[in-house]
Structure 1
Amino acid sequence: MNKFKFIKFYACMLLLFAGVSVYAQNNVIDEVVWVVGDEAILKSDVENERLNAQYENRHFDGDPYCVIPEELAIQKLYLHQAEIDSVMVSDQEVIQEVEQRIAWLADQIGSKEKMEEYYNKSYTQIREMLRENVKSQKTVVQMQQKIVGDIKLTPAEVRNYFSKLPQDSIPFIPTQVEVQIITQEPKISEEEIERVKSQLREYADRVNKGETSFSTLARFYSEDPGTARRGGEGGFTGRGELVPEFANVVFNLTDTKKVSKVFETEFGYHIAQLIEKRGDRVNYRHILLRPKVDQKDIDAALARLDSIADDIRKNKFTFDDAATWISQDKDTRNNHGLLANPQSSTSRFEMQQLAGLISQDVAKVVENMQIGEISKPFTMINSKGKQVCAIVKLKNRIDGHKATITEDYQRLKAMVTAKRSEEKLQKWIVEKQKNTYVRINPDWRNCDFKYPGWIKN
C-alpha cells in the first residue's frame, strides 16, 4: 500500500470507529457506514442512490439501507480491480451519459431549480455527482465483461440446460408478430410551409431584438416534447447524435446571442441558438414547428394507399415490391417494409413492444389480423413525430407458448449465457471478499446480505 492509500485508509478507519465522519459547527452532516479496502461508503452515498431509485421507479428486494450499501461495496470491488487492470472509460462516453441523465431528471422533476431542491445540492454538485456515478457504472460494466470473457455455448449445452429445467421454470413466450409497413406522407401546401417559416422568423427576430428569451418561446411554442419543457435545451451532444441537417447548423453557430436562420429536417422546421461548445460537443436550444396537414391531403394519401393495397391483393405486384419502391418510410423500405425490433435485433415483436416501440395505431390494427392479410389504410404518428398514412401486412404470428428448443433457441441460449455470466461474477465476488478488508458500522450490520462474507468472524 503506497503512502497516499495508507493515509486514506487510516482516515477512513478513524472515522468509522468514531461513528461519525464529518462535522460542521457541531452538527453531523455525514457518516461513514462501510469501509471496503481503503474506500469509504458514506451515508450520503446511500441516500443519493435511494433518491435516484425513487425517480427511476426501482424497487428493492429488501431494506434499501441494506441492499444499497452492499451494492456500493460490490461496486468498490470491481473498481479496485479495474484500477489494477487499467480498465478505463472515455470522458466522451461519460459526458454524453451525464447530459442525458441531467436532461431526464430535469424533465421528470420539472426544472433545474426543483432538481436542486430535491437533491439539496447545486446544479454543479448534481452534475459532478452524476459524473462520478456514470464513470463508476461504466467502469464496472467493462470490468464485469472482462471477468466474464467470451462465453461460447454449443447447441448441445443449450439443449442440456433446457432439458433439465423444471416445467414451471420454462419461460412463457408471449405472442409475437412480424409486420411489414408501407407509408405515405400527405402533401403539405406551400402556404402552410411558409406560415410555419414566417412564425419561426418572427420568434428569431423577437429574441435577436431582446424582446424575449429563446427559452421562454421554446417552452410555449416548440413542438419537440423532449426539449420544450427545458426551454428548448438539448444538452451537450456530439455531431453523430444529430441528423446531418441539424448538426450542420448548430455546430456552425458561434454567437450565443444570435438565433439561426430557419432550417428544415425530417422532423419539421427549426430555429436554434448556441449555449456552449466543449471540444467536439455542443449544447444548444431549438424550437421545432411542424406544418399542419389538411384533411383533404390526408384523404388523398389514404385513397392512394387503398389503391395500392387493392393492387397487391389482385397480385399486380407484391407487398415487398411496393414497400421497396413506393413506401416513404426510409427505415424499412430497404428491407421490404419489415419492421425491426431494436430491443431484440430481430423482426419479432411482442404486442406490447409493437405498441411501445413502433406505434399504438399499428398494434391496434395488427391485433386481429390474419397471417398474410393487408390492412385498410390508417393514419399514425411516425418515429419523427409526423402524421403519416400507412398500410401494414401481418407477415407472421407466433402464438404465446412455453419456450421450445426448436422455436426459441436464441432466447434460451441468451438465458444460459446470462446464467453462466452471473455464476462467474458471483464466484469472483466471493473470492474477492476473502482478500479485501471490510469494516461495517455496527448500526448497519443487521442485514440479510446477498453475500454473507462481508462480516468476518
Structure 2
Amino acid sequence: MNQLTQELLSCVNFNRIIKIMRIFCSILVAMLFFQNSQAQTRKVVADKIIGVVGDKIILQSDIKNSILDAQRQGQQVPENAECFVMEQALAQKALVLQAEKDSLVVSEEEIDGMLDNQVRQFIAMYGSKEALEQIAGRTVYQIKEDFRQNFRERRLAELMRNKIVSNIKITPTEVKEYFDKIPTDSLMFYESELEIGEIVMYPKASRDLELYAIEELNDYKQQVESGKAKFETLASLYTDDPGSKNTGGMYQINRTERQMDPTFISNAFRLREGQISPVFKTKFGYHIIQMVNRAGDDATVRHILRIPAITDTEVNTSVEKLDSVRSDLLANKYDFGAAVSKFSESEESKFTGGMKQCGQGSYCTIDQLDKDLVVALKGLNPGDISKPLVYTDERGKKGVRLIFLKTRTEPHRENLKDDYNKVADRALEIKKMETVDKWFKSKIPTFHLVIDPQFSSCNQLGIWMNSITKNQ
C-alpha cells in the first residue's frame, strides 16, 4: 500500500498534511450516506461482489454510487476514482477485521452521536429534514438505522489505526531531518498567527428581571391558548433566538439527539400535538414550547426564548470579579489554565484550557476572530492579559472576558524556531503513516482476499493483488 493510501486512510483525524485528503473524505462520507438511500430510489440493473476481505464484502454499487453522488455534489474526482475508492474500502475492511480480533468496542451511544452529527450536516446541506427525507426516500430514523453498521465499521477502523500508531513518538533529531529535506521553495508561508486565551463570565440577571421574562412567556402562552394570537406570530415578534426568529420559532428535533439541550428535549417530548409547555429554564434562558406534530422520536416544535435583560449593575459585578482574577494572574498566584478551570463560564474553554480553537488547532489568523476581539488585541504583547472587556457572543449573550495573548507571529516562511510544533506534527504523521504502511504489508497476506479482475490495472491495489497471486 503506497504512501498516498496511508494519508487518505488517516483522513478522519489527520487531514492537515495534504489538501486532497479533504476532498476524498467528502467522497467517503457521501458513500456512507447514499449507498443505501439511492438503492431505495433507483433500481440497480446488476450488482455483484467485487471484493472480499475475510468475511467482509464490497459491492459494485458501493463503489459506483459513492463516485456518482460525489460528482453530483460538485466534488472533483480523479480518472482512477474507482481504484481509489476500492483501495479505501479494502483497507477499511482489513482494519475492521483486526479490530474485531483485538476485541475493540464501539458503544451504541458513540454511534448514535456520530449518526446525529451526520444527519445534522445533511439537513444543513439540503435545507430541511423534509428535503433530506425526500431525497433519501427514507425517514431520518430509517436513515440512521440503514447506516449504523457503516458508521460502526468506520469507527472501528479508526480505533484500529489509532492502536497501531499509539506508541509512535518523534524526536527533535527526526523533526530536523524531516525539515532539512524540504526544498526551500516548498516551505509554507504563514500569515500572522495568534494564540489567544479567554476567561469568560456571563453576568446573571436579577431575580426581578427573571420573573418579568417568566411573566411575558406566561402571557404569550395564555394568548395562544385563548385564540387571541398564533404561536408563530408571537415567536417572530418576541423570541430572543435568532436561529428561529424568521421561521416562527420552528425546529425539527429528535428525542435521541445529543447536541440539543436535554432540558429542552425533555420538555418537548412531554407534550401532545398542539399543547404548549409551562415556562422552563435552560442555559440559554426561559422558554415555552408548542408541539406542532410528532412521529415517534421525531418532532416539529415551535418555541419562544426570552433572555432576561442584563443591567449595568450585573455587568459591573462581573467586571469587578474578573479584575480581581487578573490581579491574581499578574501576581502569579496561579497560571492561566488554572484560572480558566476555576472561573471561566464558557463551556468550550473547559476542554481547551481557555485557548480559542481555529481550524485544526489553537493558531488563529486575524480573519478568524470576532471584531470585538480584534479591537481588544491592539496594544497587547505576547504574555499580556487584557483588562475585563464587555462583549456579546455569537448567541447574542452578554459576557465579560479577560483576553490572554499567548503568542503572535509575524508573516514568515516556515522555520523551526517559529513553527517547530507544526513541523513536528507533520513529521509525526508521516512516521505514523509509515507505521500503518508496514502494518498493512505484514497483515494483508494473512487475510482471505478476493478482488474482481476489473481492478487488475489499478496501481494502487498492487500489494493486494500480489497477495492474492502468492496465495493461489
TM-score (norm 2): 0.65
2:360 is equivalent to residue 350 of structure 1: no
Spell out the pairing of 1:95-134 with structure 2 (5 A cutoff): 95-134=112-151
The whole-number CA distance in structure 1 between the counterparts of 2:313 and 2:74 is 43
1:371–1:423 CA distance, 2 compared to 1 (3 A): closer
Q: Which moved more, 1:282-291 or 1:166-175?
A: 282-291
The whole-number CA distance in structure 2 between the counterparts of 1:454 and 1:334 is 46
1:196–1:235 CA distance, 2 compared to 1 (3 A): same
- C-alpha deviations, 1:231-282, integer Å up to 9, x for none? 424434588x67xxx545754777342544323334222235797999xxx9
Which runs of 5 or more residues in structure 2 are unaligned?
Answer: 1-38
Q: Which has the higher contact order (CA 8 A, sep 6+)?
A: 2
The whole-number CA distance in structure 1 between the counterparts of 2:379 and 2:80 is 45
Spell out the pairing of 1:289-300 with structure 2 (5 A cutoff): 289-291=305-307
2:348 is equivalent to residue 330 of structure 1: no
1:95 deviates by: 0.8
What is the aligned counterpart of 1:363 among 348, 368, 374? 374
TM-score (norm 1): 0.67
The whole-number CA distance in structure 2 between the counterparts of 1:163 and 1:416 is 11
Letter in 1 for 2:463: G
- Is the CA contact (8 Å cut-off) linking 2:198 and 2:356 kept in structure 1? no
2:435 is equivalent to residue 424 of structure 1: yes
- Is the CA contact (8 Å cut-off) linking 2:198 and 2:349 kept in structure 1? no
- Is the CA contact (8 Å cut-off) linking 1:233 and 1:283 kept in structure 2? yes
- C-alpha deviations, 1:74-103, integer Å up to 9, x for none? 212222222333222111100111122212
1:418 deviates by: 0.8
Letter in 1 for 2:433: E
Spell out the pairing of 1:38-437 with structure 2 (5 A cutoff): 38-46=55-63, 48-50=65-67, 53=70, 59-60=76-77, 62-179=79-196, 196-201=213-218, 204=221, 223=241, 225=243, 231-237=250-256, 247=262, 250-251=265-266, 255-257=270-272, 259-272=276-289, 287=303, 289-291=305-307, 330-331=345-346, 339-342=354-357, 348-351=362-365, 354-355=368-369, 359-363=370-374, 365-366=376-377, 380-382=391-393, 384-388=395-399, 392=403, 394=405, 396-434=407-445, 435-437=447-449
1:109 deviates by: 0.8
Q: Which residue of 2 aligns with 1:453?
A: 463
Which runs of 5 or more residues in structure 1 are unaligned?
Answer: 1-22
1:192–1:405 CA distance, 2 compared to 1 (3 A): same
1:414 deviates by: 1.9
The whole-number CA distance in structure 1 between the counterparts of 2:344 and 2:114 is 29
1:150–1:186 CA distance, 2 compared to 1 (3 A): closer
Give the number of equivalent residue pairs: 415
Q: What is the percentage of aligned positions where both structures have the same residue? A: 24
- Is the CA contact (8 Å cut-off) linking 1:379 and 1:389 kept in structure 2? yes
Letter in 2 for 1:331: S
Q: CA RMSD in A?
A: 5.4
- C-alpha deviations, 1:259-307, integer Å up to 9, x for none? 44323334222235797999xxx9895735244869xx689969x979x
1:317–1:133 CA distance, 2 compared to 1 (3 A): closer
- Is the CA contact (8 Å cut-off) linking 1:36 and 1:439 kept in structure 2? yes
Q: Secondary structure at the match of 1:330?
A: coil
Letter in 2 for 1:255: R
- C-alpha deviations, 1:23-73, integer Å up to 9, x for none? 99xx74452262223443234423553477579876545554443233222
- C-alpha deviations, 1:362-393, integer Å up to 9, x for none? 23653786657888998743255414466756
1:317–1:71 CA distance, 2 compared to 1 (3 A): closer
1:133 deviates by: 2.4
1:226–1:138 CA distance, 2 compared to 1 (3 A): farther
- Is the CA contact (8 Å cut-off) linking 1:266 and 1:384 kept in structure 2? no
